[in-house]
Amino acid sequence: MAPRAAPYLDDLNPAQRRAVEALDGPVLMLAGAGTGKTKALTARIAHLMMTGRARPNEILAVTFTNKAAREMKERVGRLLGQTVEGMPWLGTFHAICVKLLRRHAELVGLKSSFTILDTDDQLRLLKQLIVAENIDEKRWPPRQLASIIDGWKNRAWTPESVPASEAGAFNHRGSELYAQYQERLKTLNAVDFGDLLLHMLTIFRTHSDVLAQYQRWFRYILVDEYQDTNVAQYLWLRLLAQEHRNVCCVGDDDQSIYGWRGAEVGNILRFEKDFPGAEIVRLEQNYRSTPHILAAASGVIAANEGRLGKTLWTAEEAGEKLRLIGHWDGEEEARWIGEEIEALGRGTRGLRKVGLDEIAILVRASHQMRSFEDRFLTIGLPYRVIGGPRFYERMEIRDAMAYLRLAVGPDDDLAFERIVNTPKRGLGDKAQQAIQRSARENGTTLVDGARILLAEKGLGGRGATELRALVDAIGRWNDAVRSGAPHVELAERILDESGYTGHWQNDKTPEAPGRLENLKELVKALESFENLQGFLEHVALVMDNAGESDGAKVSIMTLHAAKGLEFPAVFLPGWEDGLFPSQRSMDESGLKGLEEERRLAYVGITRAEELATVSFAANRRVYGQWQSALPSRFIDELPADHVDVLTPPGLYGGGYGAAGMAASASPAIVAAASSDLHDRAAEANVYNSPGWRRLQARAADRPVSQPREARQMVIDGSAVSAFAVGDRVFHTKFGYGGVVGVEGDKLEIAFDKAGTKKIVGKFVVPAQN
């Protein structure tokens, strides 16, 4: 059937259109950021359906994040002018493989109800193995073993196929422990993330009938962000595509940023060899960013040696130069960005009004997020954190999830281990060992082991009573799940009956209320799922938690999580040597790590459509330690013609914009040496730090500064409160109130609505009313 109306083809350029219409045979789209690769890939899916080449369920489309998958699904629907009935095989490698593995689990010795371990479970398991082998876990930490095993899985090595060259790994015990770990997983009917793909690869390799079935089934294969596939993913794709060769991969070697996780940019370079006669489409027009932004990004990436090199141009108007600003420390950087975001929203930067949804802050390391979160909470600026340490990784959420996991699968021993004495039930190490022993001797799950132990009266006292209550409750929850009881109420009941909610209600630590809030949030999250099982699966797979969706919010995320996304205004804080590029990449011999960091810088800048702002701080607290820092070497690589250097404005007024200074060859230095930093360096006497010395040495003609008394309060005000009794203040959660007491950095505040509370001073702002 010829497409009657295909509006999705009309807004493509000729090269994109070629990539979309070349439906048969291999296609590789290799092009720079913002050239419309993802757009073309999406149009190709629509075209496959529109022309009747494939039904939605015959298309295998791999995206890098769950969020990207959702967006692609929506866009295909929009292009076709209808909601797409299922596209079951559009998702991340993990999401697709978990579905496949459920169907064929028995071929690798698992049951289809297998659990997916999270990192915590994985570490606990590895620790058990290490301890059992009498290996000193201090010298040989489980985390290290986990990363070795992950690396092997990424390379598609099973315990049997780990090459001899790896024999020295983990004090020569690596591959043996890997084998034990896999055995243990099998007994637990569990897999880790790496297994999802590895098991499917094993199945495809050992069961040609299964492979053939899927080769027929997935008639068209599409892969976005192909430069970041690892060896296992690559082999998996190649197996599926080798018969019909209807495979379309898109990527950009300059955006390969997952080498540390086993991604092989070589996969993209090998494509032509693997699929001879492939149509190679190059896209050169960037539709995303203004010329200044594009030129700044291109200037940075040009310093990399091992790259294919691509032309990029844009028809946009010149727009704003990339803005660069230096700050005293990370807190000030956060404060400035907060103010800047508000100013952008009011349109007071000489630009159009920029909404919160249009703004992203992209950090190199997730610990940078905290200062932004704190600051934004203080000033009431709505934000969402995408990726990074997430909701589902919080302790109380993990505990609650363990209960839910047990309700769904009483054979989930890891979940049982986690909660058997949480909350405290008087079941110490001894009692837990007795349960383990009973389970082992009887060849049962821990829950059944506990039942037998109780029946045999192998346990006494309070522990026995509590344990009985727990196993009985688990039995009731299992029945409830089986009989299809409404899952939201059930979850609430489970948290109550287990005593877990009560445990936090009785807890007097300052964190307890927040934890209860989170538990409520968890139950709320359940509502959008059909049942507990679906929810648990979802959580296991949420790699890119997008946060709640209502209301405009600034997005905060890591540079890694920002891949493929775009925002009108992007803030890129923390451009300091040791943070970005990371210390590790700088310590490494060779350029590999550093070049990957530079690609990350390129990814960061190219996310911006209209405004990109790079910043750095002269001092930063990393894991509780103050460190002075040098501006990132990437700043020196920014082409000066495309950069505006801003003067740090200071908290209470101060200059804005110092475009004239940008003429200097190294704009970083101008900003770093600006008045404000200089003043405060004197105050804090950091003149002896190596970072400051380098700044000084390179900033010959420093502008003379004006004193800024007001901010002194902030600098050395670590314990001195800026507030006095009688002051009016505002707190984002509790609203307005009056200070009735001051105690170091804590304030006692009588809130108009919320009563009297003790609050750390930095969490409130002065109020006028």
Q: Is 761 a binder of Mg ion (CB under 5 A)?
A: no
Residue 545's binding partner out of Mg ion, ligand ATP, none, with CB under 5 to 8 Å set by partner kind? none
Residue 11's binding partner out of ligand ATP, Mg ion, none, with CB under 5 to 8 Å set by partner kind? ligand ATP
Upstream peptide bond of 486 is cis (omega within 30 degrees of 0): no
Closest CB to ligand ATP among residues 31, 714: 31
Q: Which residue in the shown chain puts its C-beta closest to ligand ATP? A: 36
Q: How far is the CB of 361 from ligand ATP (least distance, A)?
A: 18
CB 88 within 8 A of CB 97: no
Taking CB under 5 A as the criterion, the residue among 35, 38, 65, 555 binding Mg ion is: 38
Question: According to the annotation, is 445 in a ligand binding site?
Answer: no
Closest CB to Mg ion among residues 38, 368: 38
Q: Chain-centre distance of CA 659, in angstroms?
A: 35
Q: Chain-centre distance of CA 233, in angstroms?
A: 20
Residue 33's binding partner out of Mg ion, ligand ATP, none, with CB under 5 to 8 Å set by partner kind? ligand ATP
Q: Which residues are catalytic?
A: 37-38, 224-225, 255, 607
Q: How far is CA 131 from CA 55, 141, 421, 453, in A?
A: 52, 10, 21, 25
Q: How far is the CB of 92 from ligand ATP (least distance, A)?
A: 15
Question: According to the annotation, is 33 in a ligand binding site?
Answer: yes
Q: How far is the CB of 565 from ligand ATP (least distance, A)?
A: 8
Q: How far is the CB of 289 from ligand ATP (least distance, A)?
A: 9
Q: How far is the CB of 251 from ligand ATP (least distance, A)?
A: 8
Would you list the DSSP string of 131-172?
Answer: HHTT--TTTS-HHHHHHHHHHHHHTT--GGG--GGGTTHHHH
Q: How far is the CB of 317 from ligand ATP (least distance, A)?
A: 15
C-alpha R_g of the chain: 28
* Extended beta strands in 677-769, E state: 728-731, 735-743, 746-751, 755-760, 765-766
Number of residues that bind Mg ion (CB under 5 A): 3
* CA nearest neighbour of 110 among 212, 237, 236, 200: 200
CB 192 within 8 A of CB 116: yes
Closest CB to Mg ion among residues 564, 691: 564
Q: Is 564 a binder of Mg ion (CB under 5 A)?
A: yes
Please give the residues from 42 up to 71 whose contact with Mg ion meets the rule CB under 5 A: none
Binding residues for ligand ATP, rule: CB under 6 A, are 11-13, 16, 31, 33-39, 252, 255, 287-288, 564, 566, 606
| Number of Cα atoms under 13 Å in the Cβ half of residue 763 | 18
Residue 35's binding partner out of Mg ion, ligand ATP, none, with CB under 5 to 8 Å set by partner kind? ligand ATP
CB 676 within 8 A of CB 328: yes
Backbone angles phi, psi at 28, to 5 degrees: -125, 125
746/170 Cα distance (integer angstroms): 48
Residue 128's binding partner out of Mg ion, ligand ATP, none, with CB under 5 to 8 Å set by partner kind? none
Closest CB to ligand ATP among residues 315, 665: 315
Amino acid at 96: I
Q: Is 251 a binder of Mg ion (CB under 5 A)?
A: no
Question: According to the annotation, is 37 in a ligand binding site?
Answer: yes
Amino acid at 70: R
CB 130 within 8 A of CB 181: no
Closest CB to ligand ATP among residues 34, 319: 34
Q: What's the residue count for the chain?
A: 769
519/497 Cα distance (integer angstroms): 14
Closest CB to ligand ATP among residues 296, 677: 296
Question: According to the annotation, is 34 in a ligand binding site?
Answer: yes
Q: How far is the CB of 563 from Mg ion (least distance, A)?
A: 8
- Per CB under 5 A, which region of 31-39, 411-419, 440-448, 622-630 contacts Mg ion? 31-39
60/217 Cα distance (integer angstroms): 9
Q: How far is the CB of 41 from ligand ATP (least distance, A)?
A: 8
Structure tokens that stand for 44 in this block: 């190709």
414/559 Cα distance (integer angstroms): 33
Q: Is 52 helix (H, G, I), strand (E, B) or coil?
A: coil
Closest CB to ligand ATP among residues 332, 609: 609
* CA nearest neighbour of 691 among 626, 640, 643: 626
Question: According to the annotation, is 563 in a ligand binding site?
Answer: no
Residue 252's binding partner out of Mg ion, ligand ATP, none, with CB under 5 to 8 Å set by partner kind? ligand ATP
Structure tokens that stand for 563 in this block: 């891949």
642: exposed, middle or buried (C-beta count within 10 Å: 0-12, 13-18, 19+)? buried
Question: According to the annotation, is 761 in a ligand binding site?
Answer: no
Question: According to the annotation, is 187 in a ligand binding site?
Answer: no
Q: Is 36 a binder of Mg ion (CB under 5 A)?
A: no
Q: Which residue in the shown chain puts its C-beta closest to Mg ion? A: 38
Question: According to the annotation, is 484 in a ligand binding site?
Answer: no
Closest CB to ligand ATP among residues 6, 464: 6
Structure tokens that stand for 624 in this block: 């509780």
Name the binding residues.
Answer: 31-38
Name the binding residues for ATP.
Answer: 31-38
